[in-house]
Every structure is written in structure tokens, then in C-alpha cells.
Amino acid sequence: MLLNTICFAQIKLIQATKQPWTGGMQGYHGAYYNAQFKYKTKDSITIDSLYLNGMGYAVMLSNNDMGQPHWYKAKENNKKVIKFFYKESFFPCTIPDFGANEKPKAEEKPVRTFTGEALIIYHVNGKKKKLLITKFTLLEAINYP
């Protein structure tokens, strides 16, 4: 796990992992992304967005499992940490498309460019900051029935 910070980040990456998974319906697959950060308890921190695999995502404050990237504050080994989680899912469509309901393509919006696997945009005491995760530690794949 490597870390590269931009703009003197106020949160510090402790660990970042990626765990591929497959299962359920045929062709259903994805990856679990987990990250854990240290922060100064006096700071007001919110995580705003995640850029991963060419896509941008809004990040929510929640400790419930959801299909959207989310984060929450917790205690780990008697230290306050921020935990971040995202479940990426893909399901290839196997229904034939005969073009009957053709819709105009949505305008593609530019995506942030960065070197690394993920970019996290967050705010510390109202100031926007960036944190670059250059590499996720790859965990053993999960194969669900």
C-alpha cells in the first residue's frame, strides 16, 4: 500500500484494500474497496467524492452497507479513525437490444485525471483537500455460490 498526498492532506491513510468478488447470477462480479484513515480529532472532516476506474462518485456519511461509497468515524484499537467502503458491481446485460427504444446518448463529462488507483476529495475545516491512493492492497478473491 502506497500513499501520495496532495495539498498537505489532513487525513493519513492507514490501509487501503481491494477484494474482487464474483457470484450470484451468472456474470455478476465486482470489487470491495476499503480504506481506513487517521485524522486529528479537533478537525471537522467530511469526505465529498471518490474517483475510481474512470468514474466519479458522490460519497455519503453512513455506516450502513449501501451501493454507494460511504464513510463513517469509528474507534479502532482505542484510536479514532475514518472508515471508507465501496462495493463496485457489474452485471453484463444478456437481453438483446433491437434498437426499439433508442435514446440519445448522454453528454460525457470530463473525468479527473490522476496517477494512481483512486482519488478522494474531502474537506477539512471547510477547506477542500485531495488524497491520492496510488495502490490498493489486493486481497484474495471471494467466490459466492
Domain ranges of the chain: 2-92+112-143
Q: What pTM was estimated for this model as a whole?
A: 0.79
pLDDT of res. 101: 61
| 40-50 mean pLDDT | 91
The CATH class that applies to domain 2-92+112-143 reads: mainly beta
| 115-138 mean pLDDT | 95
Dihedral (CA of 54, 135, 132, 76) sign:
positive
The C-alpha cell that represents 142 in the structure block: 471471494
- Assign 139 a pLDDT band (cuts: 50, 70, 90): very high
H-state helical runs in the chain: none
Residue 7 has pLDDT above 50, yes or no: no
Q: Residue 30's Cα: distance from chain center in Å?
A: 12
The burial class, CB within 10 Å (0-12 / 13-18 / 19+), for 110 is exposed
